[in-house]
Amino acid sequence: MLGHKIGDRIEIVRYYSADVPQIDAYAGELNQVWTNLIDNAVDAMDGAGTLRVSTRADRDVVVVEIGDSGPGMPPAVATRAFEAFYTTKEVGKGTGLGLDIARRIVVDRHGGTINIDSRPGETVLRVRIPVRAHDPLPRAVT
Ligand SMILES: Nc1ncnc2c1ncn2[C@@H]1O[C@H](COP(=O)(O)OP(=O)(O)O)[C@@H](O)[C@H]1O
Ligand SMILES: [Mg+2]
């Protein structure tokens, strides 16, 4: 889906650990999370760099990391990054909703966590999703 945006000057490094179990989850919503995170990573690298996608199991949690070799987030940006409508991108480029939506899906819908690990030259967005959902999964709020 993001192929057209990634281009051929961004190297994609994938590490999918073999021990990752199947989980109870809203697959379509989680795809939106990965899409939003990769979209941000690619924006940050401005056309060239390394995109890292990794998955692993950590006891009863699945950990997914999206990393980029972009300039990183200054602390003032990182503290506000999950706010709805917060964007540092020019008008028309960013809505400021990508991380807000990702946080809602991960935290509110799956009981997981999402955090930012960022320094100049390397930013990692780390998502942790419990393998077993609290039964039943929270119902959709429409
Ligand atoms: N991988 C990243 N590297 C650097 N900054 C980032 C990254 N991901 C998000 N950000 C910062 O967080 C802000 C909010 O992200 P997001 O909610 O997706 O909104 P948008 O992408 O529309 O600006 C971005 O404007 C950017 O400043
Ligand atoms: Mg975004």
Q: Answer yes or no: is pLDDT of 101 > 80.
A: yes
Q: Answer yes or no: is pLDDT of 139 > 80.
A: no
pLDDT value for 5? 86
pLDDT value for 135? 59
Largest CA distance in the chain: 44
DSSP state of 100: H
Separation of 96 CA from ligand 2 center, angstroms?
6
What rounded mean pLDDT belongs to the chain? 94
Separation of 116 CA from ligand 2 center, angstroms?
14
Give, using CA atoms, the residue closest to atom 27 of ligand 1.
88
DSSP state of 1: -
Report whether residue 87 contacts ligand 1, using a CB cutoff of 6 Å: yes
Separation of 67 CA from ligand 2 center, angstroms?
14
Q: Answer yes or no: is pLDDT of 141 > 70.
A: no
pLDDT value for 3? 83
Q: Answer yes or no: is pLDDT of 136 > 80.
A: no
Cis previous bond, 136, omega within 30: yes
Structure tokens at 94: 């960013």
DSSP state of 54: E
Instruction: List pLDDT tens digits, range 33-70.
Output: 999 999 999 999 998 999 999 999 999 999 999 999 99
